[in-house]
Every structure is written in structure tokens, then in C-alpha cells.
């Protein structure tokens, strides 16, 4: 194919890719370059812009335990502001909801501290809720008027979230409740050197947060240490101080390109650094319009010309184009702040590889006659595989048929990690129990050289065929053959089928990895729900252990048991959608609050229903674990056997655990009292037969399973 034709094909490929939209992939690629650029940025010494350094005074987990029960009296914030003022801190920015009155003395103390300092900014919050009959409503939380009258200035803490759930940008000046309000970071910049001086940062629109300035870590000090004066002298002097929550329990965490969960107050501090750099004339992250596509096409044209001229080293030309595209995008992000997307350039370079595949195939010099001879044997293996009904495992079927075709008395498949290390997974086939003896040195050499190795033995030969997928090792196929020699067709068949088996082995490993990822994600979701409601720590894990034990005694299948385990872990995920003032309320619910709490099962069902890989057992546990045997439960008022059995199991364990542990509205009951309450609800709330089964499980395995959960929680129950 001529260079001109390759150029035309590549341009068409780039245009097609652009028309299909590369935004999701662009975000992933840009995030990767931002992380790399952050490291290079720090290495070059440009770790922070000039001006007042930011510091975070954190409402962390230790602080929550140091003072009165959260939410604190405002006197704590007042004491922190006074200490910052005495230590020589510059502006103080408070990312805390101050919209409701608390104790009068604490509120008065905070107002006095604001007036004394004179350079205090308070957060304006906004949230949206769907109200029946009214649709989506906006609610704005502003600080109490007495704090504003004391001299506090207002800044919003809104951050836009991209479609993939990651925060990469900030709003700048934005309309909040009909009022143009600067971001808290912009407000911080407006505080000047003197007590009553300010500088105008000017309005800013939406912009990228420059995470390159995050590699030099924002200093963080606990608010408990500030109030009790347990910090290094001079730590706060001359600093712009952001006060906000970093504790996991307070749920002010945002996914960013740098961290899976970054506290909102740290985001504000990094945005403040971004504004400092911008005002100082330093390059900050931005995405030049249209530059990525133009640069990709220019790289492709240059690469196409090189590819057409360099006939002896085409692979080097292709590699040079791809590396050039990567180097250009990386350099632009690191030193220019331009978010030059590498994807279009790489698609263009890939277009050359696709368009030049014919030339590559010609250079390979494949012996077509030998391929045709071995193809007949491979097709025979494929046809017999299609007719195999004895095993659902494609690898086991392939081992059986391949051993039969080449006359082997035994076959073995050894698997490796992606790094090429042998693991303990091995699959064997033999008609009479013969186990293939694999020589470690020969196996290592075969895998490293990517070549078939034949080892002669007294009773025949052992063939070692490496399994690779691209540049990733998958394993090794070993065959014990009784005859002394394999002909070329048989060896080629072994090598060809080995490559097919490598794909199957790789796919099986991907499936296992996906299953592990799903299980880890469910564990993480359960942890997030438990962390939000601190009174139910390890609640989901106890439910999972007891529910699985009951399911095993009822002879559920392995798939159903795993579905019940995930359902128990996820049963309360809908509480993420319940407001804190309801979820954490220590007293009784009003009728409206009770209805809002009951909606958590429907919210949870909507959350988990789109997750690929969850079984109906899991979905039933999430939606129906509050149904009752007599039909008075919710959300669907199912009764008796109409309630899925897995939901009936989780319901019993859920109530038992709630009665057995302390909650905001009650203390933990003694087990005798718990059993008495469960017995009272036999046949009304609970399935009588399943209740008996639960009591058997509790008697025989209860102490052991509770000890196991306590151990996994670090000794706490």
C-alpha cells in the first residue's frame, strides 16, 4: 500500500474516531498525564506558586472524638479562629454548614471571633432534592445573619462533577440562590495583607483545578491540636487557613484524578493554589480548543511520510510515531499546562499500523503450505470441541481433544501471573491418571524464549508449549507423548492450539479478576454505608455471615449463596440517599421522616439494579428485606411465600442484629430479650420455619462467626 493510500486511510480513521466521540477515553488519558505531570512538576521544583501558602485545619476523626458529640458547639470554631488570629494567620475560610442556629453561647462566641479576626469567609452550600409533585427543588444553605453582620464574607463550595463521577474543574464565581457568589478559593485570594485590606481577584468562570500543585502536599493540622495549642510555632503564621471536614464519617469526599476520595476542603485549597499561579502568570491547566485533533493529524502526516520512506525499518517508524505522540502530549501537560489529548494522535499512529498490515504480513514470510496442513488438524480439534458436552470448561475440553489428536497419554496446563511468575493453578488431563512431569528449567526456557521445547525421556517425549497473548505470558501447555518423535504438523498443531488456549486462559483470568473487582466494590460500598452510620459498624458483614450460613443449610447453589452474601452486604445501600438529620436522628421519627427512611429500599434497588453481574437473589435482598410475613411490610406489601426466600433470610438476621446492637435511639438488648422479641413476631413478621433455622445457626455457629467479624474489624464489634 502506498504512503498516499495509508495517509488517506489514517485520516478517515481519525475522522471516524472523532465522530464517535472520545470524551470518556480522553478523560482517562488526560488524568494519567496529569498524574505523570504532577510528579515531573514536583521534580522540577515548581511545586507551589508564589504568595500566601494554604494550610488546612482539619475536622478529622481524632477531633470528632476530642470534643463533645458531633455536631459541636460553635464555640470550638470560635476558639480555632481566635488561635489562628493569635498565631498570625491570614484569611480564614470555613467550609462548614453554619445555616442553622445551635447553642446561643456558642453562636455568640463564633460571631465575636469573626468580628475580631476581620478576614473570615464562610461557605454557602447548595443541594437539590426531588419533592413529590414539585420535581427537583434547589435548597441553599447560607450562614446565619448574625455571622454575616459580624463581618464574614461568603463563598460557595460548589464543584461540578464530570459524567464519570470525577471532579476535575471548579466553578469560580457562580449564581447561588440568585446571587453571584465567588468560590471559597477566590474569596481567600481577596483577603489582603492588612486586617481591612482586600484585593480583587476578578470574576472567574469554570476552570480546571491544577492538580500539579497538589504534589507538594497541602499542610494539614487537626483542629483539636489548634484549639489545644499542640502545633509547631509558626505553622499558621502568614498562612491562608481553610477549615473543613476530612473525617470519613462526615462524607465530604470527592473522587479526583489524583485520589479516589479527596476531602472537599483540600480541593478548595488546591483551587486556591491554582488561582495564585494564574495571577502570578504561571501556566495552569487548560484545554486548547481544536489543538488535539490538529496536532494528531500533523503527527500522522509526518509519520505517514516516514513510513513511506523507511522500508527497512517500518516497525521502528511506527513506534517512533506513537512515542512522538505520547511525548508531545506529556510535554504539553507538564510544562505548558495544555491538556493535549494523546488519543487522537495515537489513533492516527494506529491507523498506520492497520493500513500497513499487508506489508507486515508479507514480511513474515508465512509458509502457506504448512499452514494448510496444520489447519486441517486444528479444524478437527475445533469441530470436536463444538460437539463436546462432557465439560463446560473450554480449557479442559481443549486439553482432552488435543491430547487425543497428537496421541498424548497426559496433558497439563500451568498458569502464570501477568508478570510471568508461576502460580499454583494447574489443570491436568489423562485417561488413566497419569500426571505430566514438567521440568522447571525447560518450562522457564520455553516461556522466556516463547518457543516450543521437546524433552526426550525414556518412555517418550514431553512437549512444552508457551502460552502468550501479545506481550503477556499466560502459562504453559505440557504434553507427554509415548512415541519418540512428533512430526512438523503435530508440533505446529500444538503451537497453534496453544495460542488459542492462551486466549481462553486469559479470558478466564479476566473473568476471575472482574469477579474479584465486583466483590471488592461491594465490600467498599458496604463499608461506605457503615461508615456513614457509625452505630451500625460491621452490621452488613454480620448479616452476610449469618445469611450465608442459613443458605448453605437450605442447600442453595453456590451462585445463589454468593448472591445472598452480596445482597446482605448491599441491603442498606439506599441509606446513602437518606439525609443525615433523619438517618442519624437519636429520637423517634415523625410520619414524614419514617416514610423518607422507608424509601431507602427503593433507592438501594435503583442503585444496584444497573450493576452488571448481580443476580436476582442480590436484588431481592436489597428491595424486599423489610417485607413482613403477614403482608404489612414495605415497599410492595408482599406476604408469605410471595416474599423471595433470600429476602426473608436477610430480614430475620437484620432485625436480630439491630436488636443486639446499640443504635442512636436505643441500647443493645440482652440475647434472651432479643429471642423473646423475635418469637413474638413469629408468623407475623417472620417466616416461622426460617426463624427456627436461624436459632439453630445462632446456637451452633453464633459465637464463632461474631468472633470472626470482630477480628476483621480490628477487635471491635
Phi-psi region of 138 (alpha: psi -120 to 50; beta: other; left: phi over 0): beta
442 lies in some domain: yes
Please state which of the ranges 239-253, 298-312, 692-706 shows the lowest mean pLDDT.
298-312
Q: Which of 245, 279, 313 is the last residue of a domain?
A: 279
In a domain? residue 319: yes
**HEC profile for 651-685?**
HHHHHHHHHHCCECCECCCCHHHHHHHHHHCECCC
Query: In this predicted model, what pLDDT tens digit does every residue of 473-528 receive, in sequence order?
Result: 877 878 777 665 666 656 666 766 666 665 566 555 555 555 555 555 555 565 55
Q: What is the mean pLDDT of residues 53-58?
A: 90
pLDDT at 233 over 60: yes
In terms of DSSP H, where are the helices of 59-169?
Answer: 61-66, 75-86, 104-117, 145-149
For 586, the domain range is 533-712
Model confidence at 124, pLDDT cuts 50, 70, 90, reads very high
Same-domain status, 123 and 237:
yes
Same domain, yes or no, for 275 and 226? Answer: yes
Do both 136 and 160 map to the same domain?
Answer: yes
Residues 167 and 111 in one domain: yes
* 595 and 692 fall within a common domain: yes
The domain that holds 570 is classified in CATH as: 1.10.3210.10
Residue 549's pLDDT is 92
Q: 195 pLDDT band (50/70/90 cuts)? A: very low
The CATH number that applies at residue 376 is 3.30.450.40
270 and 126 inside one domain:
yes
Domain count within the chain: 4
Residue where one domain finishes, among candidates 363, 383, 404: 363
**What's the pLDDT score for residue 368?**
42
User: What average pLDDT does range 302-328 have in this prediction?
Assistant: 55
Q: Looking at residue 359, what is its pLDDT?
A: 47
Position 96 scores a pLDDT of 92
Q: Is the pLDDT of residue 425 over 90?
A: no
Asked if residues 172 and 83 have their Cβ atoms less than 8 Å apart, the reply is no
Nearest to 120 by CA among 145, 95, 99, 140: 95
- Whether residues 411 and 266 fall in one domain: no
Give the three cell numbers for residue 486.
Answer: 512428533
CA–CA dist 45, 55 (Å, integer) = 20
Per-residue cell: 142 = 447560607
When pLDDT is averaged across residues 78-99 and rounded to a whole number, the result is 92
Same domain? 213 vs 341? no
pLDDT at residue 516, as a whole number: 55
- Choose one of 279, 305, 331: the last residue of a domain: 279
- When pLDDT is cut at 50, 70 and 90, the band that residue 69 belongs to is confident
pLDDT score, position 426: 74
Contacts of 379 (CB under 8 A, 6+ apart): none
pLDDT in the model for residue 652: 93
Residues 151, 75: one domain?
yes
Predicted confidence band at 391 (pLDDT cuts at 50, 70, 90)? very low
Confidence of residue 171 (pLDDT cuts 50, 70, 90): confident
705 pLDDT more than 90: no
User: What pLDDT is attached to residue 337?
Assistant: 64
Alpha-carbon span 345 to 329, nearest angstrom = 9
452 and 596: one domain?
no
Which of 26-30, 537-541, 657-661 is the most confident on average?
657-661
558 lies in the same domain as 682: yes
Query: 7: pLDDT confidence band, cut at 50, 70 and 90?
Result: low
**Beta partners for residue 475, in sequence order:** 415, 467
Residue 717 lies in a domain: no
Cross-strand bridge partners of residue 426 = 414
Structural domain includes residue 228: yes
pLDDT value at residue 45: 47
Tens of pLDDT, residue by residue over 333-346, are 666 666 665 555 55
Provide the grid cell at 545. Answer: 455471615
Q: Is 514 among the domain residues?
A: no
695: in domain: yes
pLDDT at 615: 86
Percent of the chain residues past pLDDT 70, beyond the cut: 62
Which among 632, 596, 607, 605 has a CA at the least distance from the CA of 132? Answer: 596
pLDDT at 93 over 50: yes
Tell me what pLDDT residue 358 has. 44
Count of beta carbons in the 10 Å neighbourhood of residue 223: 27
User: For residue 551, is it within any domain?
Assistant: yes
Mean of per-residue pLDDT scores for the chain: 75
Residue 560 corresponds to which cell in the numbers above?
Answer: 445463589
Better-scored residue on pLDDT, 279 or 649: 649
Partners of 415 in the β-ladder: 475
Higher-confidence position of 590 and 357: 590
Residues 604-620 have pLDDT tens digits of 888 888 776 678 999 99
pLDDT at 371: 46
Residue 524 lies in a domain: no
- The answer on pLDDT for 20 being more than 80 is no
Question: Which segment of 108-122, 302-316, 364-378 scores lowest on mean pLDDT?
Answer: 364-378
φ and ψ at residue 495, rounded to 5 degrees:
-65, -40
Q: Are both 426 and 568 inside the same structural domain?
A: no
Mention every residue, 6+ apart, whose C-beta is less than 8 A from residue 218: 54, 55, 56, 266, 269, 270
Q: What is the pTM of this model?
A: 0.46
d(CA 703, CA 708): 9
pLDDT at 588: 78
CA triple 115-113-247, angle to 5 deg: 130
Q: How confident is the model at residue 42 (pLDDT cuts 50, 70, 90)?
A: low
pLDDT, greater one: 8 or 365: 8
Least confident of 97-111, 195-209, 581-595: 195-209
Residues 6+ apart with CB under 8 A from 450: 466, 468
- 36: pLDDT confidence band, cut at 50, 70 and 90? confident
- CA dist 564 and 333 (Å) reads 47
Amino acid at each position: 500500500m502506498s504512503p498516499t493510500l495509508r495517509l488517506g486511510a489514517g485520516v478517515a480513521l481519525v475522522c471516524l474516531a472523532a465522530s464517535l466521540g472520545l470524551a470518556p477515553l480522553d478523560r482517562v488519558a488526560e488524568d494519567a498525564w496529569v498524574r505523570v505531570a504532577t510528579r515531573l512538576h514536583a521534580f522540577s521544583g515548581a511545586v507551589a506558586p508564589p504568595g500566601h501558602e494554604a494550610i488546612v485545619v482539619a475536622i478529622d476523626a481524632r477531633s470528632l472524638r476530642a470534643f463533645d458529640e458531633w455536631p459541636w458547639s460553635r464555640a470550638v470554631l470560635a476558639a480555632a479562629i481566635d488561635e489562628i488570629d493569635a498565631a498570625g494567620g491570614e484569611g480564614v475560610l470555613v467550609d462548614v454548614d453554619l445555616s442553622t442556629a445551635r447553642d446561643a453561647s456558642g453562636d455568640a462566641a463564633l460571631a465575636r471571633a469573626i468580628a475580631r479576626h476581620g478576614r473570615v469567609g464562610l461557605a454557602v452550600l447548595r443541594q437539590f432534592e426531588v419533592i413529590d409533585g414539585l420535581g427537583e427543588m434547589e435548597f441553599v444553605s447560607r450562614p446565619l445573619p448574625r455571622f454575616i453582620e459580624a463581618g464574614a464574607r461568603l463563598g460557595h463550595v460548589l464543584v461540578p462533577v464530570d459524567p464519570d463521577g470525577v471532579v476535575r474543574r471548579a466553578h469560580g464565581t457562580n449564581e447561588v440562590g440568585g446571587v453571584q457568589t465567588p468560590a471559597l478559593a477566590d474569596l481567600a485570594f481577596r483577603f489582603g495583607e492588612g486586617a481591612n485590606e482586600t484585593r480583587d481577584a476578578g470574576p472567574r468562570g469554570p476552570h480546571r483545578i491544577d492538580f500539579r500543585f497538589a504534589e507538594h502536599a497541602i499542610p494539614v493540622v487537626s483542629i483539636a491540636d489548634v484549639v489545644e495549642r499542640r502545633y509547631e510555632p509558626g505553622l499558621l503564621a502568614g498562612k491562608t487557613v481553610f477549615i473543613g471536614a476530612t473525617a470519613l464519617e462526615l462524607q465530604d469526599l470527592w473522587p479526583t484524578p489524583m485520589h479516589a476520595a479527596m476531602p472537599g476542603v483540600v480541593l478548595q485549597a488546591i483551587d486556591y493554589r491554582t488561582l495564585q499561579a494564574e495571577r502570578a502568570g504561571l501556566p495552569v491547566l487548560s484545554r486548547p480548543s481544536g489543538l488535539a485533533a490538529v496536532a494528531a493529524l500533523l503527527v500522522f502526516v509526518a509519520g505517514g511520510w516516514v513510513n513511506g520512506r523507511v522500508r527497512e525499518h517500518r516497525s521502528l517508524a511506527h513506534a517512533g510515531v506513537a512515542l512522538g505522540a505520547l511525548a508531545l502530549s506529556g510535554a504539553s501537560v507538564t510544562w505548558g499546562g495544555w491538556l493535549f489529548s494523546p488519543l487522537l494522535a495515537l489513533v492516527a499512529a494506529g491507523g498506520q499500523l492497520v493500513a500497513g498490515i499487508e506489508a507486515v504480513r508479507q514480511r513474515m514470510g508465512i509458509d502457506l503450505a504448512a499452514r494448510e496442513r496444520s489447519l486441517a488438524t486444528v479444524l478437527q480439534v475445533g469441530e470436536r470441541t463444538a460437539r463436546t458436552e462432557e465439560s463446560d470448561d473450554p480449557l479442559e475440553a481443549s486439553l482432552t481433544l488435543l491430547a487425543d489428536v497428537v496421541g498424548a497419554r497426559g496433558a497439563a496446563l500451568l498458569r502464570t501471573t501477568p508478570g510471568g511468575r508461576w502460580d499454583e493453578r494447574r489443570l491436568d488431563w489423562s485417561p488413566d491418571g497419569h500426571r505430566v512431569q514438567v521440568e522447571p528449567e525447560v518450562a522457564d526456557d520455553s516461556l522466556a524464549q516463547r518457543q516450543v521445547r521437546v524433552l526426550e525421556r525414556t518412555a517418550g517425549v514431553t512437549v512444552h508449549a508457551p502460552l502468550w497473548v501479545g506481550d503477556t505470558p499466560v502459562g504453559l501447555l505440557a504434553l507427554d507423548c509415548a512415541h519418540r518423535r512428533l512430526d512438523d504438523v503435530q508440533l505446529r498443531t500444538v503451537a497453534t492450539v496453544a495460542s488459542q488456549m492462551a486466549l481462553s486462559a486469559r479470558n478466564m483470568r479476566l473473568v476471575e479478576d472482574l469477579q474479584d473487582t465486583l466483590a471488592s466494590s461491594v465490600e467498599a460500598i458496604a463499608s461506605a454505608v457503615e461508615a456513614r452510620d457509625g452505630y451500625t459498624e460491621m452490621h452488613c458483614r454480620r448479616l452476610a455471615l449469618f445469611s450465608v450460613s442459613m443458605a448453605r443449610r437450605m442447600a442453595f447453589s453456590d451462585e445463589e449463596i454468593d448472591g445472598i452474601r452480596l445482597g446482605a452486604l448491599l441491603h442498606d445501600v439506599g441509606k446513602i440517599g437518606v439525609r443525615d438529620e433523619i438517618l442519624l436522628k437519636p429520637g423517634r421519627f415523625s410520619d414524614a421522616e419514617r416514610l423518607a427512611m422507608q424509601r431507602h429500599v427503593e433507592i438501594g434497588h435503583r442503585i444496584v439494579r444497573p450493576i452488571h453481574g448481580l443476580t436476582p437473589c442480590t436484588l431481592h435482598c436489597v428491595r424486599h428485606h423489610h417485607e413482613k410475613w403477614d403482608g404489612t411490610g414495605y415497599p410492595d406489601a408482599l406476604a408469605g411465600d410471595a416474599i423471595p426466600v433470600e429476602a426473608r433470610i436477610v430480614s430475620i438476621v437484620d432485625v436480630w442484629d439491630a436488636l443486639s446492637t446499640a443504635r442512636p435511639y436505643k441500647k443493645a438488648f440482652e440475647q434472651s430479650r432479643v429471642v423473646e422479641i423475635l418469637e413474638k413476631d413469629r408468623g407475623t413478621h417472620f417466616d416461622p420455619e426460617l426463624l427456627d433455622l436461624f436459632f439453630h445457626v445462632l446456637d451452633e455457629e453464633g459465637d464463632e462467626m461474631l468472633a470472626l467479624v470482630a477480628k476483621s474489624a480490628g477487635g471491635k464489634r
